Amino acid sequence: MADRIPRRQAPEFRDSEEGMISSILDDGFLSVALDDANQYGPHAMILLLGIVSTLTGLVLFLAMIDPTLSAGTTILLVFLIALEVRFKIIRGLFYSTE
């Protein structure tokens, strides 16, 4: 039976024999979460969802207490992300070391 919508080919990934956490860290967190670098892509995506939702909840919580705190936290997060993009401070955690 032919598919109505043609399936795309699966991305290349390496089958890791290591545990989930060490495998995600070896291939790079964002690489596994966004590009499915190994078989733990869905697990890494759930972790990424948890991190983003926690940061969003923190900013909204601080906005309920004092909007100035929320604005300051947002500026701090944007500044830290800009530093990471510019200087690759924690590059090993987010990208493969190979």
pLDDT tens-digit map of 36-89: 888 898 999 999 999 999 989 998 998 899 999 889 988 998 898 888 777 766
Distance CA 48, CA 33 (A): 7
Residue 68 or residue 98, greater confidence? 68
pLDDT tens-digit map of 5-14: 888 787 677 7
Distance CA 24, CA 94 (A): 9
Q: What is the pLDDT of the chain when averaged over all its residues?
A: 82
Least Cα distance to 40 among 17, 24, 64, 18 occurs for 24
Cα 98 from chain centroid (whole Å): 19
Q: Give me the residue spans of the domains in the chain.
A: 23-94
Question: How many CB atoms neighbour CB 40 within 10 A?
Answer: 21
